[in-house]
Amino acid sequence: MCAEQAAGSWKVTLPCTRAEAEAIDGLEDPDLDAVLTTTEEVEDDVERWRLEAYLEREPDPQALAAIRALAPSTGAEPLGERLPDADWVTLSQAGLEPLHVGRFFVHTGDASPPPGTRGLRIAAGRAFGTGHHETTSGCLAMLDAMAGQTFAGVVDIGTGTGLLAFAAAHLWPAARIVATDIDPVAIDVTRENAAANGVDGIDLIVADGALDPSVTAAAPYDLVIANILAGPLVSMAPELASIAAPRATIVLAGLLETQRDTVVAAYEACGCTLDTVDRRGDWSILRLTAGAERYVPTVPFDPKGRDGWALDI
């Protein structure tokens, strides 16, 4: 096959078990140039899950072997298909039902928010974060539960579509809100979504975690939100703790319950204390409190584990 024919996006599908799905979701640095997602095919059936790998080109035998190695239990062969010239993220999010979480009503279409709610239209599109995944809806619920508190400075690391930053702006309109993402497309999407929802005043920054002068210049923040993945959360613990004000609230998500102890330990090493865990299915949302004194890192930041953290869910 010529290069022109092989180009384009591809999806490879393979049956897997729940245990394999959890292991795949917990990979910090998969040795595969692909976006990996896992889905429960039959509710509460630990054997009926599906792995989908999205690639930018037709998978070669080596890539297929790597995908097969992620879910060997069924003995099935990976099935590949070329995707049409469309954005698979958009396709995967289209048609989602509206989501009502506390004060917020999140939808992807033209639904009318119930009385007394803040409607947020997050169109299915080029970035993750419509609110429907347990991690995002869990963060939304946790922020909603903190509405009675006061925050002057908020940073949303890995903002995706901007949903959590918009929620923070609604709950704390007087606060300075900073939203960052490593993916420039996500920042463009957040800007578009902010305009569509009438949200003003959020500082949008393309940044690798908190490693940007624009992010650190606005520190310390008394609310730090990071909904990314367990590996990057661990790697970023010192830098996120360092931009948190004394006694700041830190909300972390994107981690499996099986990864909770590792993530918590990384932040406890930086003086933080775990306050609350909201477990939703296999996922956990954490609320921590920073130490009484602002954390000052004693060693250079370690970039290990940060690869792929733009996969915001």
- 8 A C-beta contact, residue 139 and residue 105: no
Q: What is the pLDDT of residue 200?
A: 92
CA atoms 256, 261, 266, 268: torsion sign = positive
In tens, the pLDDT along 97-136 reads: 677 787 888 877 666 777 888 878 776 543 344 444 577 8
Q: What is the mean pLDDT of residues 85-91?
A: 45
Q: For the chain, what percentages of helix, strand and coil (3-state, to nearest 5) are there?
A: 30, 30, 40
Task: Give the model's pLDDT for residue 311.
Answer: 39
Contacts of 211 (CB under 8 A, 6+ apart): 239, 301
pLDDT in tens, 221-257: 999 999 988 888 999 999 999 999 999 999 999 888 8
Scan for tokens 């049956």, then name that residue.
Answer: 15
Mean pLDDT in residue range 46-58? 81
Within 158-201, strands assigned E span: 176-181
Spatial CA neighbour of 205 closest among 228, 178, 229, 232: 178
What pLDDT does 43 receive?
60
The confidence score (pLDDT) of residue 308 equals 46
Closest CA to 130 of 103, 156, 92: 92
Let me know: does 77 contact 91? Beta carbons within 8 Å: no
Buried b (16+ CB within 10 A) or exposed e, 254-285: bbbeebbeebbebbeebbbebeeebeeebbbb
Could you tell me if 166 and 149 are in contact, meaning their C-beta atoms sit under 8 angstroms apart?
A: no
Q: Residue 131, SS3?
A: coil
Cβ–Cβ under 8 Å, residues 29 and 231: yes
Instruction: Kindly report the pTM of this predicted structure.
Output: 0.68
Q: What is the pLDDT of residue 264?
A: 97
Tens of pLDDT along 134-169?
778 889 999 999 999 999 999 999 988 899 999 999
| Percentage of the chain modeled with pLDDT above 70 | 80
Number of continuous H segments (helices) and E segments (strands) in the chain? 10, 14
